[in-house]
Amino acid sequence: MTQIHPRKRGIPALAYPESSPASPCSCSLLFKHSLARAQATLSLQLVISISGYTEPQAITLPYDASALLPSSLGPATIPLPQARLDEIARHGNPQIRTVFLCLKTPCPVWCPPGSGSLRPGRGAENMMEQLAHLAKSTDVRVVFDMNWLRRQHHEILIRLVERPETLVAFATRRRDGDRCMDWTVFDLSPVESAKVVESGSETEHEAPPSYVESHKRPRHNETPSTPSSAERDRKRILLSSARIPTSPTEKASSVSPSARPPNSHVASTILQREVDKAVATLLPGVVERVLPNVLSELRAVPTSPSPSAAVSVSSQTSIPPPPLSTLNPFFNSHIARRVESQLHSIYDHTLSHASYLRNTADAELFELLEDYKADLQMVRDDALAELNHEVVHKFERFREDAVNTVDEVGELVSERADEVCDDVKERLDGLRAKGKESLKRERANLEREKMWLAWGREVLDRDRREFEKLTAQVGHREVRAGSAPP
């Protein structure tokens, strides 16, 4: 059965050529394989801003089994900051692995339709340079979390990496219009980069435009590792005790992972907001620790007992509490405001926490739905393949039956024709025999008539001779009578 990686957008990964391990680029790892057909293909997909296109475009680097040399799969060999690890890690205990790919030749590049070379858009010069180095390299390293793969897919992945000669390339269907090029399609000329800098000088601090339909699921050519997908990365990070603070102190001391700031202005804004949040969080705790001592000094009375002791004392005696000092109303109102503010903060944090849980559950649900969709797609493809195979098989059988039927019909027609020919021949023989007998009879009759005619001729000849003889005698007599004396 054909298997596609369950996440439609691919596995979040980091890829880099062996020659430059210090600058891995974020991408999506696509793994498509069929164990029954011994087919497998690894692909790296990157979404990048390209000059001449209004929206970011997907560029795919396929690594087919027929183009790979025996490689290896092992642990990560380069140090990665926590933010990059959070970018590719899945929930639970991440298993970060590196695929060491050795290629026979540089891989092809599937790029969007168009003519000419690809030039980076505004702010994408470094990313396109990394992509060009990655496309022309024959030694590629891909870092990802094995938890994204199902356990039953580990075997064929290891087989593809270590023994690629036992597999063949997977015939992946491409979108209409996509071009198959090589790494020379990337144009990194400095002139174009200068033009990009000049055109973007006025809007260098502007935020990237947001999509109009951001609530929809991303299409096939999108990847979750692009800088514009920070919200999806935030949803993908699952809840854990180390990430979600449960107390004000933990909330102030913990730093949540965030996407890389686009510029220093945004970074300073985020830093100021975090400082304000930390001060607002730590100040109530400091006031709670210092306020009892200040109140005790101002009121000059012993510190009030604990709530449980107060309840027990009030149940045993009805002595009224000491009178409040003149500063108590002021402190009470101030403390009430602070407590109310703290309660609002806790309430907002609870709502944010619940929203985060909901978003995380939604993300997991969407990924599960994508799994089901991918499984249904695989089942549909397999069903179509089986149906096509069955149709071809039935057609071959029908053609064989038709050929056999034609042969049988030909034999029957030949036999019938032979029978008809024999019958006609017999009839013709009978007619010929009858005609022959009739001709014999006619011939006999003609012979008899000939005999009669011959006999008649003889009779006529005899009569003619006798007539001539008589005529001669008569003439002789006349001659004799004329010569006699009168």
For the chain, the residue count is 486
Residues 22 and 153 in one domain: yes
Provide the token pair at 395: 């057609």
Looking at the domain assignment, is residue 329 inside a domain?
no
Amino acid 423: pLDDT: 85
Looking at the domain assignment, is residue 445 inside a domain?
yes
Amino acid 322: pLDDT: 59
Residues 160 and 285 in one domain: no
Q: pLDDT of 344-373, one tens digit each?
A: 889 888 888 888 888 888 888 988 898 888
Residues 163 and 15 in one domain: yes
% pLDDT > 70, the chain: 71
Least confident of 67-76, 120-129, 168-177, 334-343: 168-177
Amino acid 135: pLDDT: 92
Residues 6 and 110 in one domain: yes
% pLDDT > 90, the chain: 15
Long-range contacts (CB closer than 8 Å, 24 or more residues apart) made by 152-158: 153/3, 153/5, 153/31, 153/33, 156/3, 156/33, 156/35, 156/40, 157/31, 157/33, 157/40, 157/73, 158/73
> Residue 418's Cα: distance from chain center in Å?
63
Least confident of 182-186, 300-304, 419-423: 300-304
Residue 310 pLDDT greater than 60, yes or no: no
C-alpha 48/C-alpha 124 separation (Å) is: 7
Residues 45 and 193 in one domain: yes
Residues 288 and 402 in one domain: no
Q: What angle do CA 346, 351, 353 make, to 5 degrees?
A: 90
| Prediction pTM value | 0.41
Looking at the domain assignment, is residue 209 inside a domain?
no
Residue 149 pLDDT greater than 70, yes or no: yes
Residues 61 and 168 in one domain: yes
Residues 136 and 276 in one domain: no
Residues 96 and 29 in one domain: yes
Q: Which of residues 294 and 476 earns the better pLDDT score?
A: 476
Strands (E), 169-241: 179-181
Into how many domains does the chain fold? 3
Question: Average pLDDT, whole number, for the chain?
Answer: 75
Domain end position, chosen among 182, 197, 212? 197
Least confident of 30-39, 304-313, 389-398: 304-313
Provide the token pair at 386: 């089986």
Section 131-143 average pLDDT:
93
Least confident of 20-34, 314-328, 434-448: 314-328
With cut-offs at 50, 70 and 90, classify the pLDDT of residue 260.
very low
- The enclosing H or E element of 332 equals helix 328-483
DSSP 8-state code for residue 254: -
Looking at the domain assignment, is residue 147 inside a domain?
yes
Q: State the virtual CA torsion across 140, 146, 152, 154 in degrees, nearest 10.
A: 30
Residues 269 and 165 in one domain: no
Looking at the domain assignment, is residue 140 inside a domain?
yes
C-alpha 26/C-alpha 47 separation (Å) is: 9
Looking at the domain assignment, is residue 347 inside a domain?
no
Residue 477 pLDDT greater than 70, yes or no: yes
Residues 283 and 186 in one domain: no
**Whether 107 contacts 62, CB under 8 Å:** yes
Range of the domain at 189: 2-197
Section 383-406 average pLDDT:
90
Residue 307 pLDDT greater than 90, yes or no: no
What are the residue ranges of helices labelled H in 110-247?
A: 125-136, 154-162, 190-199, 230-236
Residue 247 pLDDT greater than 90, yes or no: no
Section 417-426 average pLDDT:
84
The amino acid at residue 249 is T
With cut-offs at 50, 70 and 90, classify the pLDDT of residue 262.
very low
Q: What angle do CA 22, 28, 34 make, to 5 degrees?
A: 125
Residue 215 pLDDT greater than 70, yes or no: no
> Which of 262, 209, 284, 239 shows the shortest CA–CA distance to 91?
239
CB atoms under 10 Å from CB of 165, counted, come to 10
Q: State the virtual CA torsion across 232, 238, 240, 242 in degrees, nearest 10.
A: -40
> Which of 51, 4, 49 shows the shortest CA–CA distance to 29?
4
Looking at the domain assignment, is residue 133 inside a domain?
yes
C-alpha 441/C-alpha 453 separation (Å) is: 18
Give 86's contacts (C-beta < 8 A, 6+ positions apart): 233, 237, 257
Amino acid 6: pLDDT: 42
Looking at the domain assignment, is residue 24 inside a domain?
yes
Give 282's contacts (C-beta < 8 A, 6+ positions apart): 248, 249, 252
With cut-offs at 50, 70 and 90, classify the pLDDT of residue 270.
confident
Amino acid 139: pLDDT: 94
Domain end position, chosen among 176, 197, 218? 197
Amino acid 44: pLDDT: 93
Residues 44 and 187 in one domain: yes
